[in-house]
Amino acid sequence: MALSERFRDVLSYATEADAGQMHEGTPIPSRAHLFGVTAIALEYGAG
């Protein structure tokens, strides 16, 4: 599946905006949530 330019741009922006942030009280990067939501969106046809 090819991602649209807009989808790639939004994902790139969100990844950069979230850089260095962690889930409160954990060593897990906040972008882990972003990637999880992205995976779900792609499963349902986003792209």
Give pLDDT tens digits for 1-27.
Answer: 788 999 889 889 988 988 889 988 999
Structure confidence at residue 43 (pLDDT):
92
Among 33, 27, 39, residue whose Cα is nearest residue 14: 33
Q: Note whether 4 and 31 are within 8 A (CB).
A: no
**What does pTM read for this prediction?**
0.68
Kind and range of the H or E run holding 11: helix 5-17
